[in-house]
Every structure is written in C-alpha cells, then in structure tokens.
Amino acid sequence: MGTPERSALEAQLVDSLRALATASIVPAPLATGGLAALERLFDVQVASRHCDQAARWLRGQGKGYYTIGSSGHESNAAVAMGLRTSDPALLHYRSGGFYLARAGLGGVHDILAGMVAATAEPIAGGRHKVFGRHDLAVIPQTSTIASHLPRAVGVAFAIGRAARLRVESPWPTDALAVCSFGDASANHALPPARSTPHCTVRINACRCRCCSSARTTGWASACARPPAGSRARTATGRTFATPASTAPTRRRCWR
Ligand SMILES: Cc1ncc(C[n+]2csc(CCOP(=O)(O)OP(=O)(O)O)c2C)c(N)n1
Ligand SMILES: [Mg+2]
C-alpha cells in the first residue's frame, strides 16, 4: 500500500505522533480523575476533528454553510477541563474542543446544527454558526477578530464588582472569565485586558502553523507578554490544564 496523500495539517499530526514513539515521555500531571479524564479529553478532541471533517463533507454536498474548523486547536478541550462549567466562556471560532469538553459528545449535535443552519441550533437558531449555550455558560460571539475580548474583560470585571457590592449576578462570586482568540487578533485583544485592573480573564491565544487566517510573526507573542508588575501567568500548549492548576488563580483573585 502506498503512502496516503495527506493535507499539511494531517501530515503535521502524523509526524508528531511518529516523533512520540522515540521521545522520552515525561508523564503530564494527570487531571483529577486520572485516566478517565484523559479518555474524555481524547474523545472530545477526536469528536472535534470529526466535526471539521463533517463540515467539509456537508459543504461538498451543498448542505453545509460553514467550514472554519478547530483542527490543530483540539487542546482547547484541556483548558475547558481545567475550569468549572459555571465559568463564563467567550470562545474563538476554532474552540470546538473547548465546547465539546463542556457540552459532552451531545454537543456534536449543536455544532452540526450550526453548520447546516438548523433552527435546532441552541443559541442562534441557525442564523449563524457560533459556539454558545446558556446552560454551559458559553456566551456566543460573532466572527471574532477578538471583538469579544473587551466583552470578556467586562464580564470578568463585573464578576468581581458584583461580589464586592453584594449584588445579584448570574456568575458564582469566584468565577473566572475565559476567552480564546487567534494570534492575529492579539492587538485587539490584549490592551483592554492589560488596562483593566481587578479582573481575571483566562486568555487562551491560539497559534497553529497550518490554519492561520492572517499571518503573524513575533509581534503577537511579544504583545502577549505580561506587563511588568502584573500578576499574569503564562503557559504553553504543553502545560496540562487541570482544575488543580487553576485553583491558585481562583484563590489569589477572590481571597
Ligand atoms: C473587526 C474585524 N475585522 C476583520 C474581520 C474578518 N476576520 C475574521 S477572522 C480574521 C482573521 C483572524 O485571524 P486569527 O485571529 O489569527 O484567527 P485564526 O483564524 O488564524 O485562528 C479576520 C481578519 C472581523 N471578523 N472583524
Ligand atoms: Mg491565526
């Protein structure tokens, strides 16, 4: 059998898997729940990739209307698993892994409903392909170029403010706002986060070699560098997110 023809993205995946065979594996700190959590993580990551393939299949038949996918961004699922389901999330259009980690595999139905513009889609009723569901605290966004980040900062600011003023809020008093966006959107995204005091946003900037809509060079990571004196912490895609790993941030912000 000859070598199958692969897209750049699939080739990158296969190469990375091959490299694992020879790499000395350092076991990642397991999420609470150990193996079961890892299995769940893998399941939702694969489901996210399958949704991308279904999008192209549907489009090819003229039955689907959206093909921007989450391939290469599946580790967003680990971010979701490191948070509580009550933490408000404002997601990039490539955060399928995050969405499915929160929604479970039943969320595949939501994503597909968005692709075919079905009225059963839970947040936009088929008017737009978007990640959003009220019961999952996923706040819907339109096509992002991080226009949603000021909003995420506003949500984070309001959580803390409501707690301090003891007014009613839809979010738990120690909730974290989480926001994901693409690298090219960093210039829109980071100034409000840097300049708003007293709020906690978990920012998750997505960078992947193969699916950039707009090319960026070093400036995106340079402007993501935390300002001097801030309490920001940075992590790379190799940092395994667990509920335990977000606990210090939660405690530090809401003590
Ligand atoms: C204010 C605004 N300008 C332009 C666009 C069109 N637009 C949609 S996505 C995108 C590129 C986003 O690139 P990036 O943030 O790196 O996300 P990626 O698709 O690479 O993951 C642009 C220019 C938009 N949605 N909003
Ligand atoms: Mg990009």
Q: pLDDT tens-digit profile of 171-224?
A: 999 999 998 888 777 766 666 666 655 555 666 655 544 444 556 666 666 666
Q: Is the CB of 183 under 6 A from ligand 1?
A: yes
Please report the atom of ligand 1 found closest to the CA of residue 216. Answer: 16
Dist. CA 160–CA 158, nearest whole Å: 5
| Cβ of 184 below 6 Å from ligand 1 | yes
Averaged pLDDT of the chain: 80
Lowest mean pLDDT among 44-53, 61-70, 147-156, 170-179: 147-156
Tell me how far the alpha carbon of residue 2 lies from the centroid of ligand 2, in angstroms: 33
CA angle 207, 53, 98 (to 5 degrees): 45
Which of 52, 75, 145, 211 to probe ligand 1 with, by most ligand atoms within 8 A of CB?
Answer: 145
Q: Which residue has the higher pLDDT, 215 or 76?
A: 76
Please say whether the beta carbons of 118 and 169 come within 8 A. Answer: no
- What are the sequence ranges of the domains in the chain? 33-227+239-254
Ligand 1: atom nearest CA of 183 is: 16
Nearest ligand to the CA atom of 180: 1
What CATH number does the domain located at 33-227+239-254 have?
3.40.50.970
pLDDT tens digits, residue range 94-132? 999 999 999 999 999 999 999 999 999 999 999 989 999
Helix (H) or strand (E) holding 180: strand 177-182
Helices (DSSP H) in 23-148: which residue ranges?
Answer: 34-60, 76-81, 96-103, 107-115
Ligand 1 atom index nearest CA of 185: 15
